[in-house]
Amino acid sequence: MGLTVTKAVGRSARALVCAAATLAAVAGGAVLTGGCSSGGTQPLPGRSVALGTEFSLAMSETVGVQNEGLAVTLTGVPEETRCPIDAICVSAGNAAVIVRLNKTGQAASDLRLNTNPANGPTGASAHGYTVRLTELQPYPSASMPRPPSAYVARLVVTKP
């Protein structure tokens, strides 16, 4: 069950909507992170990982970071110029991913992470955490194109 509280007019109206949404969610058995802030109430993801542990994240999947009130989502792969596995290239190329961090009580932050440090950072920080991309699969193939939904990123979240 996922609830999202959208723009309510005025502070008291938003508080009332958030309280009603929270009560409905709890009555329905949902677990919620934090209260209602600029983005609303966000359900905890079904899977969680420990801080500092490398994990896999599929496209549009969200995982929580245990005891941190932090959710991590792979939202896109805006760049894929890596040399296909069945081609010969003069450069390795790069793939970039967008990872969204949702911290309880704060606005979401989107981070762009690269597979090739020569093309941009492999890690970035927001909300007091650093997220680093360690791998992106599958590697492109000239003979077998893959849909964007096939991507799986290997990430690690730490506190600097």
Q: What is the pLDDT of residues 36-65, one digit of tens each?
A: 434 444 445 679 999 999 999 999 999 999
- Selected residue with higher pLDDT from 122 and 2: 122
DSSP conformation letters of 103-136: ETTS--EEEEEESSTTTS-SEEEETTEEEEEEEE
Enumerate residues 6+ apart whose C-beta is below 8 A from 81. Answer: 93, 94, 95
* CATH 2.60.98 domain span(s) along the chain: 47-158
Task: For residue 155, give both structure tokens.
Answer: 């990430």
pLDDT > 70? residue 117: yes
Look at residue 13 and tell me whether its pLDDT is greater than 60: no
pLDDT tier at 108 (50, 70, 90 boundaries)?
very high
Query: Tokens at residue 113, please?
Result: 């992470």
Residue 46: its pLDDT value, please? 78
- What's the average model confidence in pLDDT over 92-113? 97
Band of residue 3 on the pLDDT scale cut at 50, 70, 90: very low
User: What percent of the chain is predicted at pLDDT more than 70?
Assistant: 72
Backbone dihedral angles phi then psi of residue 39, each to the nearest 5 degrees: -100, -5
Question: What's this model's pTM, rounded to 2 decimal places?
Answer: 0.72
Most confidently modeled range among 22-26, 40-44, 126-130? 126-130
Is the CATH code 2.60.98 the one for domain 47-158? yes
88 or 25: which carries more pLDDT confidence? Answer: 88
> What is residue 144's three-state secondary structure?
coil
Mean pLDDT, residues 101-113:
97
